[in-house]
Amino acid sequence: EPEVTQTPSHQVTQMGQEVILRCVPISNHLYFYWYRQILGQKVEFLVSFYNNEISEKSEIFDDQFSVERPDGSNFTLKIRSTKLEDSAMYFCARTQGGLAGLGGNEQFFGPGTRLTVL
Amino acid sequence: GNSVTQMEGPVTLSEEAFLTINCTYTATGYPSLFWYVQYPGEGLQLLLKATKADDKGSNKGFEATYRKETTSFHLEKGSVQVSDSAVYFCALSDLGGGADGLTFGKGTHLIIQP
């Protein structure tokens, strides 16, 4: 069973452009997460989203980033003005039910979107 | 803050060899611990987990034991296969520390040669 799907699989953009990455959960989950993985580096937490609000965000998640669930289904990550250093794999994840960590409630990841900023 | 430290890779082994990938952590609360695997060109897949001290997570011949006294969660497999070649990430979730995102290690690239 695919946990989540992400579109596009690969996005190429020019520096300074806006990009929107999309995550489509299979069912109506409440908790969503975005992570990024710069090539060859570790996976880094960006933001968590619960019940249509940001629950927590990391230092990486600055004013250039925003998340929303515009139609109650798709979960999007927007980068307002991309920089070269935004080039990375971006992963969406969700939990089965509650927050990750509650009873070992693991996170299930999508296949990722590879963002290349030129 | 929270952190996860993994042994540096790449780790290259022959098929049927014994595997250990070390993972240690620091956490402000009482974390749950996870191992994720990333096969070439794919996303992250949960391999196994443990939620409390002395728990042993296991899956596909891999296992790891939550050691609170040594703050470790080392991944082991008795006999590796070529298909195990992937990047392995140790991770923790520490709600008690106020963080609901996962904290990952840098990953260990495992290469199994026939």
CA distance A84 to B81: 38
Question: Do the Cβ atoms of A55 and A48 come closer than 8 Å?
Answer: yes
* B108 at interface of A, judged by CB pairs closer than 8 A: no
How much is the pLDDT for B99?
57
Percent share of chain B, pLDDT over 90: 75
pLDDT over threshold 50, residue A45 = yes
How much is the pLDDT for B28?
84
Which residues in B5-35 are b (16+ Cβ under 10 Å) and which e? ebbeeebebeeeeebebbbbbebeeebbbbb
pLDDT over threshold 90, residue B2 = no
Q: Residue B95 in 3-state DSSP?
A: helix
How much is the pLDDT for B96?
60
Encoded tokens for A67:
């998340």
pLDDT over threshold 80, residue A27 = no
CA angle B39, A78, B97 (to 5 degrees): 70
Mean pLDDT for the stretch of residues B15-21 = 97
Mean pLDDT for the stretch of residues A103-113 = 79
pLDDT over threshold 80, residue A69 = yes
How much is the pLDDT for A101?
47
Question: Do the Cβ atoms of B34 and A106 come closer than 8 Å?
Answer: yes
- A residues 28-47 near B, CB within 8 Å? 31, 33, 35, 41-47
Q: Measure CB to CB from residue A43 to each of B45, B89, B95 and give the nearest one.
A: B89
Question: Do the Cβ atoms of B91 and B34 come closer than 8 Å?
Answer: yes
| Inter-chain CB proximity B43 and A102 less than 8 Å | no
Sequence-distant (6+) residues with CB within 8 A of A44 are A35, A36, A37, A38, A58, A60, B104
* A101 at interface of B, judged by CB pairs closer than 8 A: yes
Query: pLDDT class for A74, splitting at 50, 70, 90?
Result: confident
| Residues forming a β-bridge with B3 | B26
Residues of B in contact with A105 (CB under 8 A): 32, 93
Mean pLDDT for the stretch of residues A19-29 = 81
How much is the pLDDT for A8?
94
Mean pLDDT for the stretch of residues B28-51 = 89
pLDDT over threshold 80, residue B107 = yes
pLDDT over threshold 60, residue A1 = no
Cβ atoms within 10 A of the Cβ of B63, count?
18
Sequence-distant (6+) residues with CB within 8 A of A62 are none
pLDDT 10s digits, B64-96: 999 999 999 999 999 999 999 999 999 998 866
Mean pLDDT for the stretch of residues A80-93 = 95
